[in-house]
Amino acid sequence: MSEEDLPEPVVLVPAGALLYLVSELERLKVQIASQDSRIIELAAQQDEDCDRLAHDIALDRQRISHFEDPASRDPTPTEQAHLQKIEKHLRESPRYAASFVEIRGLLGVSPGRVSQLVKKLDPQRFEVHRSARDHNARILILKRRPTL
């Protein structure tokens, strides 16, 4: 005889026990549903926290970069005036060029300050070269725009 031919066993359960098991099953279903909704809330809150932290980190990195590289900041009004003087001087110069010493005399600033200002200039319009005569001297050149 195979297992398929055997009748299913019958178990007698008292009605009180069956009602208890059914009520316990319903209570556990409610508890699981409550925990599922709590898990969903926590996951959403965690996503929001991660987004906020990523945004805060990005802002902090931006602030730190300003301390690490002062040339990366936007020019102040004084710097803007100096940059305009430099550009005007280069445009009026016959070779569209001036040495850093010449720019320093024009603006009345320190050599380090001239370097900081030059870093703020647009590299597509300006370039720095070493002097052919004195390799320690640097020259700022205003690139001529190609004619179309």
The CATH T-level fold of domain 74-142 is Arc Repressor Mutant, subunit A (1.10.10)
Q: Residue 137 has what pLDDT?
A: 87
Q: How far are the Cα atoms of 84, 91, 96, 98, 109 from residue 145, in angstroms, in the given order?
A: 18, 12, 11, 18, 29
Q: Residue 2 has what pLDDT?
A: 62
d(CA 120, CA 75): 7
d(CA 83, CA 118): 8
Closest CA to 141 of 118, 114, 109, 110: 118
Please report, in tens digits, the pLDDT of each residue of the chain (148 residues total): 566 777 788 888 899 999 999 999 999 999 999 999 999 999 999 999 999 999 999 999 888 876 776 556 677 889 899 999 999 999 998 889 999 999 999 999 998 899 889 888 888 889 999 988 887 889 999 987 755 5
Q: Residue 21 has what pLDDT?
A: 94
d(CA 21, CA 27): 10
Beta strands (DSSP E) in the chain are: 97-99, 126-130, 138-142
Q: Residue 134 has what pLDDT?
A: 83
Which pTM value belongs to this model?
0.49
- Work out the burial of residue 140: count CB atoms within 10 Å of its CB; fewer than 13 is exposed, 13-18 middle, 19 or more buried: buried
